[in-house]
Structure 1
Amino acid sequence: MKRDKSTILENQMLADGIYKMTLETPECAFTAPGQFAMLEVPEKFLRRPISVSSYDSDRYVLIYKVVGDGTKKLSRMEPGEKISSLTGLGNGYDVDTIPDGCTLIGGGIGIPPMLGLAKSLVIAGKKCRVILGFNTANEVFLVDEFKNFTDDITVMTADGSYGQKGFVTDAFDTLDYACACGPLKMLQALDGKVRKGQFSLEARMGCGFGACMGCSIQTKVGSQRVCKEGPVFDKEVLLWETL
C-alpha cells in the first residue's frame, strides 16, 4: 500500500455514466491486475474503492461508474487537479497460475480489471479469450482496447442492441478455467458453469487495507477480508450462500 498525491491527466466519459480517469503518480504501487485504489473524494469522509484497468511505472487508469454523490463529484474533477489516494491495494489475479487460453469474463463495471489482466497474460506469453457483458449498447466500453490483446472477443448485451443477445453465461456451455469480475449474481451464475478459476468480488469498504474488518466474508478457509485477502479469490473457496 502507498499513499499517493496524484495528478489527474484525464477524466472523460466513455459510455453512459462510465468515466475513465488517468492519474500520474511519482511511483506506481500496483503489482498485479485486479488490485484497486481508494480515492479521497472532495467533501466526503470515506474514500471510494475503484478498480484499476491498467498501470505502468508512473501512471494508472481507473474506470468508474457514477452511482451516487461521491462518484458524481469525481466525474466533475478536471485535468491538473490533485487527488489523494491509497494505491496498490488488495490481492490481484495470479497470472502465473492462469493456464494458457484462459477465458476472461467481465460484466459492467467489472470489465476494467479484465483489460489489465489480458495485458498481463500477453506479456507472460499466454493467450486468452474474452467475454464481456452489458445491459445495452449505450453502456458498451473498452471493446476496442481489448482488441490490442486478443482477437477472440464476445460481447453480450441483455437487450441484444450490441453484439449477441443474452448474458455472459449464454456465450459458452462449460469452462475448465476462467477469471471473472462483475456483479455477484453474474459470478454466482458462472459458478455452475466454470470448474476452476479466480473471481473478483465487490464489497462496501471502510478502510480498504484490512483494518476495519467491514468487508469480511466467510469462505471455505475461514473469514477473509475482500479488501486484503481479496478482492480476487480462488473460485473454489467461495461460499455463495454467505455472500
Structure 2
Amino acid sequence: MKKYVLDLTVSAAEHINDKYVLLKLTHNEPLPQMLPGQFVEVRVDGSSTTFLRRPISINFVDYQANELWLLVAAIGDGTRALARLKAGDTLNCMLPLGNSFTIPENKNAKVLLVGGGVGVAPLLNFGKVLNDNGIRPIFLLGARSAKDILLIDEFKKYGEVCVTTEDGTEGEKGFVTNHSVLQRIRFDQISTCGPKPMMVAVARYAHSEGIFCEASLENKMACGVGACLCCVEGTKKGNLCVCKEGPVFNVNDLSWQI
C-alpha cells in the first residue's frame, strides 16, 4: 500500500481518564485507505526529549466523517506531549504502516478479539471491519480495574463485549484467559493485542485448542519501515522487523513458548 506523510488536524482531544486520551484527526482531503491492524508513526513536536516518531495503532477510521482516531496512553515524554494536543492543532503522521489482521472468508466464523490496556485500540477498527463483512465478533477486554476499561460503548456497537478485571470491579474477576466465554463458545479465530504476557497466554490457549490465532505486537518502533532494526522480533523464520513484517503475526510463527 502507498504510504503518506500528512499534516492532520486535531478535530477533538477527548481525555478518557488521567492516562488515556482519544485523538480524533481529520484532513482537508479524503483520508487514504487503512486496513485493520495497521499503525501510524507520529512526529512529536514540543518535546525536547523526543527525537524519533512514535508508533500508534489505528484505533478507528470514520471515512464518512473523514476522521482517524488514535488512542494514546500518556506514559512517557512523547505520549504526554501528544496528550496535550488540542482541537485545531496539527499532528504530522506517516501512514498507513504494517500489515493487517485476517478477515475470515467464512461469514459464520466465530471470532474472538482479545485486548488488554491500550492494546484494545486496534481491535475496535477490526471489529467494525468484521461487522461490515457480516461477522459479528466477541470482544474480550482485560484491565486492572473498571476505570481502565476503555471505549466499551464503542466496542458494543460492533459485537458482544466480555470484560475481566484483576480486582473484580468490572466483569469477571481474573485474567482474560479465565473468562467463562472460552468455555461457552468454540472459536474459529482469535486475534489479540496487549501486554506480551497476556498475548502469550492467549496464544497458549489457542494452540492447545487448535484455534488459528494472530497477535499484534507492540515492540518499540522508530522508523516504521524496517530501517532502524529496533523492533526486531525472534520468529521461526529468523529475526524480523515488526514494523515491516508485522505488527500482526500468526502466533505459531513466533518464538514464543506456547
Instruction: Name the TM-score class by shorter chain.
Output: over 0.9
Structure 1 CA distance for aligned equivalents of residues 106 and 233 of structure 2: 24
1:231 has 2:247 as partner:
yes
- Inter-partner Cα distance in structure 2 for 1:113 and 1:30: 15
Partner SS for 2:244: coil
Q: Kindly indicate whether the alpha-carbon contact (under 8 Å) linking 1:28 and 1:56 is maintained by their aligned counterparts in 2.
A: no
SS of the residue corresponding to residue 130 of structure 2 reads: helix
Q: Is the 8 A contact 2:110 2:188 kept in 1?
A: no
Q: 1:140 aligns with which of 149, 161, 176?
A: 149
Q: Secondary structure, in 3 states, of the residue corresponding to 2:128?
A: helix
CA distance in structure 2 between the partners assigned to 1:30 and 1:63 by the alignment: 19
Q: Which residue of 2 aligns with 1:117?
A: 126
Q: Unpaired runs of 5+ in structure 2? A: none
| Matched AA of 2:42 | L
Distance of 2:106 and 2:42 partners within structure 1: 30
Aligned counterparts, 1:70-81, within 5 A: 70-81=78-89
Name the residue aligned to 1:159. 167
Contact 1:156/1:163 (8 A) holds in 2: yes
Taking the aligned partners of 2:85 and 2:26, their CA distance within structure 1 comes to 14
Instruction: Give the equivalent residue in structure 2 for 1:10.
Output: 12
The Cα of 1:97 is off from its aligned counterpart by 5.1
Q: Offset of 1:31 from its aligned partner?
A: 2.4
The CA deviation string for residues 15-60 of structure 1, in whole angstroms up to 9 with x for no partner, is: 3401100000223234211111111111331111111111134320
In 1, the alpha carbon distance for the partners of 2:32 and 2:72 equals 19
Matched-pair contact (CA < 8 Å) for 2:203–2:213: no
Report deviation, 1:127.
2.0
Higher alpha-carbon deviation: 70-79 or 28-37: 28-37
Q: CA deviation at 1:175?
A: 4.8
Shift of 1:214: 1.7
1:219 counterpart (206, 222, 235): 235
Instruction: State yes or no: 1:36 paired with 2:48.
Output: no
Among candidates 32, 47, 56, match of residue 53 of structure 2: 47
More off after superposition, 54-63 vs 72-81: 54-63
Deviation of 1:203 (Å): 0.6
* Larger mean Cα displacement after TM superposition, 93-102 or 222-231: 93-102
Aligned length: 240
Tell me which amino acid in the other structure corresponds to 2:121: P
Q: Share of identical aligned residues, percent?
A: 35
Amino acid at match of 2:39: F
**The structure with more strand, counted as a fraction of residues:** 1
Normalised TM-score (structure 1): 0.93
**Contact 1:35–1:92 under 8 Å retained in 2:** yes
The 1:16–1:139 alpha-carbon spacing in structure 2 relative to 1, beyond 3 Å, is: farther
- Whether the aligned pair in 2 keeps the contact of 1:30 and 1:55 (CA below 8 Å) is no
Measured at CA, do residues 73 and 98 of structure 1 come closer, stay the same or move farther in structure 2, by a change above 3 Å? farther
**Is contact 1:30-1:89 (8 Å) kept?**
no
For residues 82 and 32 of structure 1, what CA distance do their matches in structure 2 show? 23
Output the CA distance in 1 between the equivalents of 2:155 and 2:88.
28
Kept after mapping to 2: 8 A contact 1:156/1:165: yes
Measured at CA, do residues 225 and 98 of structure 1 come closer, stay the same or move farther in structure 2, by a change above 3 Å? farther
The corresponding residue for 1:21 is 23
Whether the 8 Å contact between 1:30 and 1:87 is mirrored in structure 2 is no
Q: In 2, are the aligned partners of 1:175 and 1:193 still within 8 Å (CA)?
A: no
Q: 2:37, 2:121 → 1: CA distance?
A: 9
The residue matched to 2:124 in structure 1 has which SS? helix
CA deviation vs aligned residue, 1:77-130 (integer Å, no higher than 9, x gap): 110011111110111112245772211111110101111111000111112111
Matches within 5 A, 1:60-139: 60-96=68-104, 100-139=109-148
Q: How does 1:164-203 map to 2 (within 5 A)?
A: 164-171=172-179, 172-173=182-183, 175-194=187-206, 195-203=211-219
Q: Where in structure 1 are there 5+ consecutive unaligned residues?
A: none
Q: What TM-score do you get using the length of structure 2 for normalisation?
A: 0.88
